[in-house]
Amino acid sequence: MHIYRHEIRYYECDRMGITHHSNYVRIMEEARIDFLDKIGYGFDRIEAEGVVSPVVSVECKYKSPTTFKDIVEVEVTLCNMSDLKFEFKYVMKKDGKLVAEGHSVHCFTENGRPVVIAKRLPELTALLQQKL
């Protein structure tokens, strides 16, 4: 598990003063990017090697609102990995209280075609397997 912290910005809030629901998916992406950076194999490196990782699916369940200046702590967990995709779980909290839960699935492609990540990026595969 990895913890990422995000401070809610003014522009992320709607007319009611709460964080717009669409921003939680973006916060999940920030947390996933930070997770990969922290294990030493960030998206910049993955893409420099010719591989991209598109989203296959994403979901977010909202439990409690957040507002401007709130700090959202995101627990990022790699929960599953196969030859062609990996899955992350996100638990988002403010002051220890659950605000949202999410899940995302990503594949790996090169030139628009799926790639077996263990063969194409074995070092990344090894690092990710340590996190399962």
As annotated, the active-site residues are 14
Kindly give, in sequence order, each residue whose CB lies less than 8 Å from that of residue 121, ignoring residues fewer than 6 positions away: 41, 46, 49, 51, 108
Could you tell me if 12 and 80 are in contact, meaning their C-beta atoms sit under 8 angstroms apart?
Answer: no
CA–CA separation, 38 and 75 (whole Å): 14
Tell me the backbone φ, ψ of residue 50, rounded to 5 degrees: 90, 10
Which one, of 98, 97, 79, 94, lies nearest residue 5 by Cα?
A: 94
